[in-house]
Structure 1
Amino acid sequence: MAMPAATTLLAWTRLLRAADLASQHCAASLRALGLPPPEWYDVLLAIERGGAQRPRDLQIALGTEQYALSRLVDRMVKARLLTRVPCADDARGHLLHLTIEGRAMRAAMWPVYAEAIETALGARVAEEDRTALARLLAPLAEPISA
């Protein structure tokens, strides 16, 4: 197997570093206002947009590990942002529903999340470069086929 080219390694390093810094900035912005972390927003938004979902479907949609999503959902249920309702099709399963508090929390988080996105990316990269970046990253946002 060939070693990656130097430019591939440089792009990889910068991609990971940029994602990490943007994520840290977003989490810090939310935390400063006493709001939950970005992962909570992602779950709330996915259920708000897609309706009640089984955890396995949410896991696939968010691209997260089952154990991490399970712990996250437990915390969100405890915070009364989500409820678990037994699945009519499968007595062993359940659906995750967004509560009124969950909808309100997602709405409260969005302005802070949006500002963090603008600060981390929008204000630092020209519009034409953001367009090119989105185009370049598109194939990397798809699952890797084995």
Structure 2
Amino acid sequence: MSGKLRDRHTPDKMDAWARLQRASGVVLSRVEARLKADGFPPLGWYDVLLELQRSEGMALRPVEIEKRTLLAQYNVSRMIERIAAAGYVEKRKTAEDGRGVMIHLLPDGEDLLKDMWPAYKRAVEAEFSIHLDDDETRILWHMLGKLLP
């Protein structure tokens, strides 16, 4: 070995992939824990309600929710049932297809979004933002953008 010290391990792309997955899971778990400690439902609920709020007519088919949130279909179906049971959304049959359903955001769901936002923002700041300076944030944003369609 030469006179200069080498890293004990030089990461390759698989190492980076694994670290990205671990970091994402750890940060999401910590954000979820903070929301729970503040008395809020899981982060997935926020994501579903937000996508409904952003949509035309504040309604989406379950498959559209699945695509927009990147949750697995079986998770989306169960989550929608729980969110509906809590009174934040309503399932309605579609006019053009009697078997199809649309998920509609209810006023209580909009209120929950407004109430959750400050706690969610604080949690992201504490578990993510505080660890990055402005340059690192910009670099990470660009790097992750390369992975998106």
Residue-by-residue CA offset, 1:49-98 (whole Å, 9 max, x unaligned): 11200111111111221111000000000000100111111110111111
Task: Return the TM-score normalized by structure 1.
Answer: 0.89
In the alignment, structure 1 segments of 5+ residues that lack a partner are none
1:39 aligned residue: 44
Residue aligned with 1:83, SS: strand
| 1:141 equivalenced with 2:143 (yes/no) | no
Residue aligned with 2:128, SS: helix
Q: Stretches of 4+ moved more than 3 A in 1?
A: none
**Count of aligned positions:** 138
CA RMSD in angstroms comes to 1.3
In 1, distance between residues paired with 2:106 and 2:124?
26
Q: Which structure's CA Rg is the greater one?
A: 2
Residue aligned with 2:67, SS: helix
| 1:86 equivalenced with 2:93 (yes/no) | yes
In the alignment, structure 2 segments of 5+ residues that lack a partner are 1-9
In 2, distance between residues paired with 1:39 and 1:90?
28
Task: Return the TM-score normalized by structure 2.
Answer: 0.88
In 2, distance between residues paired with 1:74 and 1:23?
22
Percent identity, please: 32
In 2, distance between residues paired with 1:59 and 1:17?
23
Matched to 2:16, the amino acid is: A
In 2, distance between residues paired with 1:89 and 1:59?
21
Matched to 2:98, the amino acid is: A
Matched to 1:132, the amino acid is: I
Moved more, 66-75 or 16-25: 16-25
